[in-house]
Structure 1
């Protein structure tokens, strides 16, 4: 069973674009249901990054610790692996500070510690300006995909309510 760990941008883009709460509640219902079965989650640091969209903040606050997992000893152990990787790639100090101060650093460590696939809208980049999740995942042999791939892999179908066609 594949387990998915969602990045901040998955929630923000879904809410602001293709899966808005008003037009696609099925997406949000699917996340909640799959969280109950242990398939989908995120981490507390991601929840802390979601601050601007009032409706999304309310959704996050309702989920709490069941959806947004707390740091644990296994994750803390993997922070060393991730930090050694980042430092070895010789990123500029600004990029390192942003990475170590944000949720991505912890998200990757949690995924490594607990065998999750990371789901993000970030894409691999050959440029060395900022640290991208797919770059870290590739080097650390950690699976990473975008949310559309996750939905396809899980055979999710968001079907139009037939009463709207009348």
Structure 2
């Protein structure tokens, strides 16, 4: 089965810009349906970024997504190490600030890349 990994911006932009809950409930019903069958997943790092705001989106995530939707980032430690090494090896292409942000252990981006490297 093909599985898609969602980042924070998928939820935030959909909620705030394109598909408000009260106008496009069908969009959010489809997200819930795809999550329940495992077609879409995300990581605990994304969840942490999302619940930080404690808003309507946080409430929706907490009540509509399956408990196993947000996968543990612990399972991709080896892949994260490879991603970090790759990023460090490209330090001449990126500013140090960009590398620091990408590799910040609390930020989801590098972890999402690492998750995509796992053999499913």
TM-score (norm 2): 0.85
Partner in structure 2 of residue 71 of structure 1: 73
Q: Secondary structure at the match of 2:73?
A: coil
The Cα RMSD (Å) is: 1.7
State which of 94, 99, 104 in structure 1 corresponds to 2:97: 94
Bigger CA radius of gyration: 1
Q: Secondary structure at the match of 2:53?
A: coil
1:62-105 CA-partner distances (Å, limit 9, x unpaired): 236322111243x1110122111111111222112111121101
Q: Secondary structure at the match of 1:12?
A: helix
Unaligned 5+ runs, structure 1: 116-166
TM-score (norm 1): 0.63
Report the count of equivalent residues: 114
Partner in structure 2 of residue 15 of structure 1: 15
Quick one: higher RCO (CA 8 Å, sep 6+), 1 or 2? 2
Instruction: Find the aligned partners of 1:59 and 1:114 in 2 and give their Cα distance.
Output: 30
Unaligned 5+ runs, structure 2: none
- The Cα of 1:32 is off from its aligned counterpart by 1.2
Pairing 1:1-166 to 2, within 5 Å after superposition: 1-50=1-50, 51-52=52-53, 54-62=55-63, 63=65, 65-73=67-75, 75-90=76-91, 91-101=94-104, 102-115=107-120
Instruction: Find the aligned partners of 1:86 and 1:15 in 2 and give their Cα distance.
Output: 31
